[in-house]
Structure 1
Amino acid sequence: MTTTSTRPAVFFDRDGVLNHDAGYLFEASKFKWIDGAREAVRLVNEAGYFAFVVTNQSGVARGFYEESDVQALHRWMAEELAAVGAHIDAFEYCPDHPEAVVERYRRDSDRRKPGPGMITDLMKRFPVAADGSLLIGDQERDLEAARAAGIRGLLFRNGNLATFVCEALKLA
């Protein structure tokens, strides 16, 4: 019998945590990193944690942009992070919304926060140790998703994300 070693993860909400929430953001030209965000991801990487992004993207369901736009922005973010020696292990997003104007996205989904689906899907795909894992979000629905997935949720409102992560992971 072989065992896969597990390790904890930090699940980052995107808008309002990694970047300033500009409302239905999909263009790199309008993307503004939160102070310390890239460094926070690098700290998570260096501490041996998985780093994931879990983000509701109802702008797709509302017809404001396409899934390919979300994917392109995430590729751009990955390049920006690589430039400072950081990486995200996986980007997860949920394009669904129960009141979508784009019919194929009109549904209730447990992947849409406050549902835990994006988190639990990642925990199935990667050897994540739930104990010691946490989600950093800026909305109550983020914390609800964390609780439903059985991990700790922390509310980030403003400030320097690297400082917040140091305190959260007790790296200081």
Structure 2
Amino acid sequence: MNKALLLDRDGIINHDLAYVHKVADFSFTDHIFSLCQQAKALDYFIIVVTNQAGIARGLYTEQAVRELHQWMIAEFKKADIDIQKAYYCPHHPEHGGLQYQHNCLCRKPMPGMLLQAKREFDLDMSQSVMIGDRESDVKAALAAKVNRRILVKSDYTQADNLDDTAATEIVECLSEIKF
């Protein structure tokens, strides 16, 4: 079995500027490449799991997300980092009409994307790590039985009661995370 570094996208890989879907608006966060280099050196697969409600809201298309992810993966490749796959959930419980409006199993905090990655890449979730900036990220990881669940503080966590978090670690920034 393999182990994985599971990464939320907006707020972890790129600065969260709300509904980022164009290369021109995409800005990598500090330390994301060095963090992924650490994981790669320890034979972690690197997998992205991201909610993309902007699709259901009609702000951009699935094609726009796929193109952005292709570009993002190519940028990581330039730094000698392989992203095995970027999963995204296009759904929203309140927006999107018949095609996208429903409570699915892939939208975090549900574990669908993580469980799909587990199946596709033969992952040992007990040896894997999830990093996100929202409680929904760590709840999805908990439901998928990921033992190490890291919450990076953000504007979203300020509203949450971190005493009740499902995270096993809380950090201020990516540079605090060690493997």
TM-score by length of 1: 0.89
Structure 2: distance between partners of 1:160 and 1:153: 14
Picking from 51, 56, 59, the partner of 2:51 is 56
- Equivalent pairs counted in the alignment come to 161
1:44-65 deviations in whole A, cap 9, x for unaligned? 1221011100000000000000
Correspondence for 2:131 among 112, 130, 136: 136
Q: Which residue of 2 aligns with 1:156?
A: 152
Q: Which has the higher contact order (CA 8 A, sep 6+)?
A: 1
Q: Percent sequence identity over matched residues?
A: 36
1:61-72 alignment, distance < 5 Å: 61-72=56-67
2:107 counterpart SS class? coil
Query: Counterpart in 2 of 1:37?
Result: 32
Map 1:54-133 → 2, pairs under 5 A: 54-133=49-128
Contact between 2:152 and 2:173, CA under 8 Å: does it hold in 1? no
What displacement does 1:98 show?
1.2
> Aligned pair in 2 of structure 1 residues 137, 107: CA closer, same or farther (>3 Å)?
same
**How far does residue 157 in structure 1 lie from its aligned partner after superposition?**
2.4
Structure 2 residue 142 is the aligned partner of structure 1 residue 147: yes
Structure 2 residue runs of 5 or longer lacking an equivalent are 155-171
- Name segments (4+ residues, structure 1) moved above 6 Å: none
Which string of whole-angstrom CA distances, capped at 9 and with x for unpartnered residues, describes residues 136-169 of structure 1? 00001101001000013110127652x334x2x1
Cα distance in 2 for partners of 1:12, 1:30 equals 19
1:15 CA drift (Å):
0.3
Equivalents in 2 of 1:101, 1:9: separation in Å? 31
Letter of the structure 2 residue corresponding to residue 21 of structure 1:
D
Structure 1 alignment gaps of length 5 or more: 1-5
1:3 match = none
Q: Which amino acid aligns with 2:141?
A: A
State TM-score, norm by structure 2: 0.85
* Letter of the structure 1 residue corresponding to residue 149 of structure 2: G
Task: Give the counterpart letter for 1:11 in structure 2.
Answer: L
